[in-house]
Amino acid sequence: MRSDGQMIQPTGYVEEAIELAKKEDRPITEEDFYRDPEKKKILSQYGVVRILALSLPVRERILGVLYVDSCNNTKEFSEQDRIFFYALTRQMAFALENARLYEENLEAKKKVEELNRELEIKFREQQEELEEVRDTLEVNLRELERRYTYHNIIGKSKAIQDIFDILDKISPTNLPVLITGESGTGKELIAKSLHYSSPRKDKPFISVNCAALPDSLLESELFGHKKGAFTGASQDKKGLFEMAHHGTLFLDEVGDMSLKMQRELLRVLQEGEIRPVGGRDVIKVNARIVAATNRNLQDMLQEGSFREDLYYRLNVIHIELPPLRERKEDILLLAEHFLQSVVREENLPPKRFAPESLKKLMEYSWPGNVRELRNFVERTALMSSNSVIGPDEILLDFSAKPLTETSLKDTTSLLVQELRAELHAAIREEILPELVAHQKKEQNTTVKKEDIWNQLLELPFQEAKQKFIELYLSELLKSTRYNITQAAEKAKILRSYLHKLIKKYNILEEE
């Protein structure tokens, strides 16, 4: 721009003045060109006498350059002119910067508004999905409550009604429950019914089969583990106790748990806390314990294979499930229920049992209990092509007589024979060699195995059994130099039970 207000087109000297002002960030005047004769000559050709180029700085950046010149020979740029142009460059710089920022803000605002619209759409979609999931979970929970509430358990027999009375009383509580009964009687169903009829029904129901896992895996499953605790522990893992927090933990087949794991379980029940495998910190847990077994824990207590203190911790409430053969009035109800269920679930045409078929179902002993009945009904319904299932389709093994008092006596007799055979084998293979060696040492005479064996065979079963235990305990204690702890570990029984046996059979330490 000339001093007379006319715009000029950039020429070489103008561009050079602009670049020099940007590069050195200082006022550029004609004096910068007069030092060079060639440049001075160029200025003269254009009639330019005065030059002023000022940069437009903002925050250590140069946005541009204000260039002015004059062709007036007699008038220089005064100090007042310079102050004016300097102030103008600052105002221009701020104006340009604000314009740039405004454009950027407008662009950013558009992007934010666009992102907000997208987020709103995604949020609504996620809300709808969450609502669907929540509705589905609510329906599933209500279905679980409906399915597993004990009021839906099939049975009108007095034995089942008595169990319902117990469930009515204990469902609102947090007391531990021990469920016993033969395999297939529905122990897990009762456990689930307890949970879904309790105040904990909205929390997890976690189950574990204690007989299905070795100690090392069962410990990790119950209590969890930390990363690197053992080979294959690539990350931390929650235990079932922690997963069942505020819910219910169902310990199935608890009678098959080893003494070591019984001790660990007892500690958790006493202290209400767990320590993950490989971890140092303890974790507080609050889970209702429901345990189940088909074994006779009373016998196991006598044998020393189940801890007495753990037994009383678990057996606060005891529910004994009767076998199906002892509640025959429930068989027809269950059979009809299972038949209609499989017809509905598998979209089968309507089916029913003929009266003769129902009679055969009633006559069978059902050694596998409710589980066997359900499997049989479902299999028969699927395989039958008739709407009425006839007696010729009731393919049950009636050669296996139902368990009666007589058959139980026969079974007991067979068990006695098996125990006698096992005792004889143990005496022949383990006790006799040690007894022979002992008598040789004491009498310094030749003793024949056959003589001792024949003497034992002359004894009645109970006396032979007692003699065997005495010999076993005596040799066991000698082998550990009468260290009770080592002897109990070697025999895989509790120290307290070994003490009882020593006292009962009057086993004295040899001097």
- Kindly state whether residue 362 falls inside one of the protein's structural domains: yes
- Kindly state whether residue 1 falls inside one of the protein's structural domains: no
Whether pLDDT at 408 is above 50: no
Query: Do residue 284 and residue 353 come from a single domain?
Result: no
Please report which confidence band the pLDDT of residue 511 belongs to, taking 50, 70 and 90 as the band edges. low
Query: Do residue 314 and residue 358 come from a single domain?
Result: no
Q: Which pLDDT tens digit goes with each residue over 31-48?
A: 777 777 777 777 777 777
- For residue 356 the two structure tokens come to 């003769």
Torsion angles phi and psi, residue 284, rounded to 5? -70, 135
Position 436 scores a pLDDT of 53
> Which of 123-137, 227-241, 251-265, 402-416 bottoms out in mean pLDDT, i.e. has the lowest?
402-416
Average pLDDT over residues 328-338: 93
Note down the domain range covering 373.
Answer: 325-393
Q: Which residues have a Cβ under 8 Å from the Cβ of 187 and sit 6 or more positions away?
A: 179, 180, 181, 252, 292, 294, 321
Cα distance from N-terminal residue to C-terminal residue, the chain: 127
Query: Do residue 160 and residue 287 come from a single domain?
Result: yes
Length of the chain: 511
Q: Which of 393, 424, 442 is the last residue of a domain?
A: 393
Average pLDDT over residues 262-269: 94
Q: What is the CATH number of the domain that holds 185?
A: 3.40.50.300
Q: Which pLDDT tens digit goes with each residue over 168-220?
A: 999 999 999 999 999 999 999 999 989 988 999 889 999 999 998 888 889 99
| Average confidence score pLDDT of the chain | 82
Domains held by the chain: number: 4
Give one word for 228, left, alpha or beta, with left for phi > 0 and alpha for psi -120 to 50.
left
Position 456 scores a pLDDT of 64
Between 17 and 295, name the one with better pLDDT: 295
Position 209 scores a pLDDT of 94
Query: Do residue 162 and residue 182 come from a single domain?
Result: yes
Position 407 scores a pLDDT of 45
Between 352 and 153, name the one with better pLDDT: 352
Q: Which of 268, 289, 321 is the last residue of a domain?
A: 321
Whole-structure pTM value: 0.58
Q: Which pLDDT tens digit goes with each residue over 275-304?
A: 999 998 999 999 999 999 999 999 999 988
Please report which confidence band the pLDDT of residue 413 belongs to, taking 50, 70 and 90 as the band edges. very low
Q: Which pLDDT tens digit goes with each residue over 496-508?
A: 888 888 888 888 7
Q: Which pLDDT tens digit goes with each residue over 314-329?
A: 999 999 999 999 999 9
3-state SS class at 203:
coil
Q: Which pLDDT tens digit goes with each residue over 371-393?
A: 999 999 999 999 999 999 999 99
Position 46 scores a pLDDT of 73
Average pLDDT over residues 233-244: 91
Query: Do residue 414 and residue 480 come from a single domain?
Result: yes
Q: Which pLDDT tens digit goes with each residue over 422-444?
A: 555 555 555 555 555 555 554 54
Position 336 scores a pLDDT of 93
* Beta strands per DSSP E along 232-332: 248-252, 273-274, 283-284, 288-293, 317-320
Whether pLDDT at 105 is above 80: yes
Position 374 scores a pLDDT of 94
Whether pLDDT at 342 is above 80: yes
Query: Do residue 195 and residue 332 come from a single domain?
Result: no
Position 422 scores a pLDDT of 54
Neighbours of 289 (CB within 10 A): 22
- Kindly state whether residue 200 falls inside one of the protein's structural domains: yes
Give 426-446 as a DSSP string: HIIIIIHHHHHHHHHHHH-S-
Burial zone of 290 (CB within 10 Å; 0-12 exposed, 13-18 middle, 19+ buried): buried
Position 364 scores a pLDDT of 94
- Kindly state whether residue 463 falls inside one of the protein's structural domains: yes
Q: What is the CATH number of the domain that holds 35?
A: 3.30.450.40
Please report which confidence band the pLDDT of residue 6 belongs to, taking 50, 70 and 90 as the band edges. low
Query: Do residue 444 and residue 349 come from a single domain?
Result: no
